[in-house]
Amino acid sequence: MPAATTVDVWTGQNPNRLIDVKAAVAPDGAFSGAFAMPAGAFTQDGTDGPMTLFASLQSAQPNDFSLFSTLVQALGQHAPAGRVTVTLDKPSYVSADTVAASIAGTDGSGKPLAGKVVAINVYSTGHAVVEHEADTFTSPTSWGVAVKQNVQVTLDATGHATYSVAANAAQLSADQQVTVTATYGTGSTAALGARSVVVYQAADEVFLLASRTVYVPGEVVTAPFVVEARTGQRVPNAPIAYEFDKTDYQGSTSTTTVVASGTTTTDANGMGIVHVAYTGPVVPVELRVKGKDAAGNAFQDVKTLYIAQDPNSVFSGGTSGILIHMSVAPDKIAYGIGDTAHFTITSPAAQNVLLSLERGRIHQYRWLPLAQGDSQLTLPISPDLAPGFTMTFSYFQNGAYLTEGLPVLVNNSSQLLNVAVTPDMPAYAAGQTAHLTITVTDSSGKPVAATLLVDGYDAAMSSYKLDDMFSIGQAFFTPAPRGTNASSSLVGIGNFGGRCGGGFNQGQPATTNPGLPAVWLTGVTTDAAGHASIDVPIAKTPVRLAFIATTSATSLGQAEVDLAVQ
């Protein structure tokens, strides 16, 4: 912006704005300023409240009204009645396990909360896992379903107690993140301790891979899958059961019926396939594949299939991300740049289609003649196809325009950095300084010269979530939405956008757990060996440290570490 521009930073309504700051724009286009938090931003009952801070240009042009905003949390008066910590007996569990949580409490002076009562809550939320061949990125959540609420537990004379709960108290047939919280006191003075952990279905996982979604009764369903150990090794010769489930809803109740079932086995590479003619009812069904690990723990995966007499009635011509008439079998789960991908395309009729490789825009396109039955397609995976694309088929059938496709994963592991953080002590006392060594390497383990952002804060602010920071790599290295054949002609080209706007519900912001910042470093650099070191002052509470590493070539990595306080 021109240096003569003034920016008005404000909140509240005229003429009695809570904040009204005029900031001049510097030659580089930046503006800055400061203000005291106004008393009117805080709630009388001591709870936290959001304050929206607006910035608008002060321009001589009457129609220039550029408006921007950010959210500031106005923290109420918090004087915790004590300190509560939660520790768990295992770093992870399977569904059949029991979670044993150790609760410890002290008052404001550090003395045990002897004989005091804490309230226990247990929450469950989904935990996404993907096959090891595909890149994975952290997506933390602050939401969960309460499966145990307000369980009263009395601490012993030393301020300790143990609480046990079934790992699968939520009774889910899926991996989940379970959080155990312990609260002492009420309102703004409540002391909260929490710990999250992953509860896996079993030691093995099964993943249904991308495949056709829409079928006509009598057609052969082809659904490939892979079985892997959690450590990444494929599981050969694994017996797998499959079934097609139909669910009927009557008011608030549902009844699930198995309309077809069978068994199959993975090959020597852990790959398997459901290949069977569907003869059940014409309704949406769930294809469920199930197995057991060596200890007898069950695992499963589910995919929705749409059964219709007229497949074209299920989805409009704008939906290009699913297969409706054709089946496509890739030779890999995910590809790397430089690979040659081989696909077997099964078409119901001999026809010419427009093949396009799309990710927000069309990267490649060509006319593709398909025979009735199987046709082979070879594609070189060029750098512009990372981090994935949709193989889209567009054609006319009986005078109707159709588009269907298959998402194809392309890994970017060469762009992902490994960030390792080593504290000099396992735990610290209040007033000590923690010395940490940071090592940054590339995907092959070679040291990398990188710049680091380090954010340290009171660990209670995150309630010890497994991950407190979204993956920075996810912003760059996951396939962008694509919809070249389906966009509005007005706005939002390439992402199914339209002139008339969104309409989805925005989630409320998570409750703030106030705490103190421990360290904020924006220019830490590693040496030629990929090493750097930092010092972190320790106050009275555990510290969570978040690290983001970047290079000028847009290689990215991150890590989170908790520093314990004795």
Higher pLDDT, 297 or 505: 297
For the CA atoms of 441, 442, 445, 450, the dihedral, rounded to the nearest 10 degrees, stands at -20
CATH of the domain at 196: 2.60.40.1940
Weakest-pLDDT range from 151-165, 428-442, 477-491, 543-557: 477-491
Residues 462 and 521 in one domain: yes
pLDDT of amino acid 190: 81
- CA 393 from chain centre, in angstroms, equals 29
Residue 474 per-residue DSSP state: H
Question: In the structure encoding, which two tokens stand for residue 258, read together?
Answer: 């198995």
Residues 505 and 470 in one domain: yes
Q: Cα dist. 163→83, 119, 181, 407, 549 in Å?
A: 17, 11, 11, 45, 39
Residues 454 and 488 in one domain: yes
Cα–Cα distance measured from residue 450 to residue 552, given in angstroms and rounded to the nearest whole number: 8
Residues 169 and 30 in one domain: no
| Range 142-146 contact pairs with CB under 8 angstroms and sequence separation of 24 or more | 142/465, 142/510, 142/511, 143/507, 143/510, 144/177, 144/179, 145/170, 146/121, 146/122
Cα–Cα distance measured from residue 355 to residue 368, given in angstroms and rounded to the nearest whole number: 6
Residue 181 per-residue DSSP state: E
| pLDDT tier at 502, thresholds 50, 70, 90 | very low
| pLDDT tier at 59, thresholds 50, 70, 90 | low
| Residue 127 included in any domain | yes
| Residue 311 included in any domain | no
Cα–Cα distance measured from residue 381 to residue 375, given in angstroms and rounded to the nearest whole number: 19
Residue 4 burial class via C-beta count within 10 angstroms: exposed 0-12, middle 13-18, buried 19 and up:
exposed
Residues 30 and 103 in one domain: no
How many domains, the chain? 3
Average pLDDT across the chain, whole number? 87
Cα–Cα distance measured from residue 333 to residue 130, given in angstroms and rounded to the nearest whole number: 11
Residue range 251-259: average pLDDT?
92
| Cβ(106)–Cβ(113) below 8 Å | yes
Give 84-141 pLDDT, tens digit per residue: 999 999 999 999 999 999 999 999 888 999 999 999 999 999 998 999 988 888 888 8
Q: Domain of residue 463: give its range.
A: 413-565
Cα–Cα distance measured from residue 78 to residue 84, given in angstroms and rounded to the nearest whole number: 15
Which of 45, 41, 2 lies closest to 18 in space, CA to CA? 41
Q: If you search the block for the tokens 């199987």, which residue do you land on?
A: 374
Whole-structure pTM value? 0.82
pLDDT of amino acid 188: 67
Please identify, among 31, 56, 74, the residue that sits at the C-terminal boundary of a domain. 74
